[in-house]
Amino acid sequence: MRESQQLAPGSDDLEEHPAPAAAADHERAVLVEDWLLAAAPDVQQARWEWSEGGLTLLRCGELLTAIRLPGTLVRTAAASSDPTEVGTYLAEVIDGGPVIASRGRYYPLVLPSAGVAWQHPDAECLAWGTWLGVPPVTETNCHNPMAYWMSRCEGRASCVTPRPSCISFGSPSIGIQGRRPAMGISHASPFNADEIRRRCEEALWGPSGPLAEQRALLQEMEGYVRLLAPKLAKLMPRMPDNMQGTARIVLRYSDELLGDEAPSTDLATRLHDAAVNARALLGLLERPGELAPETEGSDQNPARST
């Protein structure tokens, strides 16, 4: 009796005919990717970065933005540092919306309208033009050291705008570990580039004073970073490509510098790093390269010397 030439169903056959659930998950992922990539400056580059398992930078603005939640407060309110339990807590607080966990902080994605009237002392809604590091839509591994989706994104319909009163983090008396109030200058005030440059140079090369003075100077440097980083983020789309690459690196370090888990806990090192970052931000604002034509609402002269 001749053997049948028909192959029995195997792994190859299953790959050609994926299970309905797997096919649905793949289709969902593609749709969500397409939606997110509308906020990417270079869609092809962003897809490549995701294909390599890394983050890609999406620009907050017309499509979406995010609320930066301090990790220390969230974990304190959740009474746990376990990612699953923290995820459950956040799902209750923000009605199940998408959340990115990155370097100990949490970023619920929200619609741009959230930033119009958002006010919360401990949770900042990222301004238009801010760059947000976003992992691949399928990255849900909580052990990823860079970022992962704590709650999956399902597209625009899944983005909710929680009321600021809902994000209470338990007790209002809890302080933010590793975060300090901005000092030196405020976000609303025009800034003196010459004064910022002089203070940065003093922090970098001046004699080390008592610890209290060093802490005060660190607060001042971090205040400059908070002031200048949003201005550079707003200017960056008009900068030449090579300058944009430099600006992204500087802005990414600004975000790390001000985060809950700062790169260094050593006071002298943190002061040095903050001064270097503030000086780099100022330098890019003063010498951004040949800018593209100005659009409505953009800053004409982001750095002013008086």
Please tell me which residue, 20 or 129, carries the higher pLDDT value. Answer: 129
Q: How far apart are CA 271 and CA 275, in angstroms?
A: 6
Q: What is the spatial distance between Cα 176 and Cα 157, in angstroms, rounded to a whole number?
A: 31
pLDDT average, residue stretch 54-63? 89
Could you report the per-residue pLDDT of 81-122, keeping only the tens digit for each? 899 999 998 888 777 889 999 888 899 998 887 766 667 777
The two three-digit tokens of residue 216, written as one number: 């005060």
67-81, 134-148, 151-165: range with highest mean pLDDT: 134-148
Of 10 and 94, the one with more pLDDT: 94
151-165, 258-272, 276-290: which has the highest mean pLDDT? 276-290
- Tell me if residue 133 falls in helix, strand or coil: strand
Question: Both tokens of residue 197?
Answer: 């440059």
CA distances from 262 to 179, 224, 266 (A): 9, 16, 10
pLDDT of residue 135: 93
Give the integer Cα–Cα distance in Å for 139 and 147.
Answer: 8
**More confident: 305 or 252:** 252
Instruction: Name the range with the highest mean pLDDT among 13-27, 86-100, 166-180.
Output: 86-100
Indicate whether 23 pLDDT > 60: yes
Domain ranges of the chain: 39-166, 193-286
User: Is residue 150 a contact partner of residue 101, using CB atoms and an 8 Å limit?
Assistant: yes
Quick one: pLDDT at residue 12?
47
Tell which wins on pLDDT, 62 or 306. 62
Distance CA 223, CA 215 (A): 12
Q: Of 76-90, 132-146, 261-275, 278-292, which gets the smallest average pLDDT?
A: 261-275
Confidence of residue 253 (pLDDT cuts 50, 70, 90): confident
